[in-house]
Structure 1
């Protein structure tokens, strides 16, 4: 505004938005603050730190080590970018079986 950057607040006054996405079994997708409660109830389908996996491969030792620090399943992608990582979701048929870090990032944006 007037040649200066401006931080835009969300409807609750937050200046930041958590990069977290939860894929619920009913097909609903929760993002940001709405996804936070699902870290404890649906941790295997709640993805965070996805940006750290973009363009990376499980053949990289540091990526394999980092993947074990998360409750969700990090696997080699069978969807796109063969050889890169994807997140395997526990599915009842309403959520995709695999999502890539780029797809998670798209949900956050």
Structure 2
């Protein structure tokens, strides 16, 4: 679960670690859940950090929407997904504690 006050680490990153090298449908499903949680958590936030995170979440949503049924691109997409999720985790961990 994403907790904007505590950053992205902990349970969310643990879920990603469990799927390391796992099956693609489970990874896509977890990423979609994270994007939905982040989108909801970012509603109404206006700071520059939140806006950067929101842009990144939109890119993730676009990438995830394009992953189904495109086997020839999935390797590239998974590499991009991994990069985006790592960057997103870093950005969320940089948010000041106790906001929201």
Structure 2 length-normalised TM: 0.29
Greater percentage in helix: 2
Query: Bigger relative contact order, structure 1 or 2, given CA contacts below 8 A and separation 6+?
Result: 2
Quick check: which has more Rg, 1 or 2?
Answer: 1
Structure 1 length-normalised TM: 0.27
Greater percentage in strand: 1
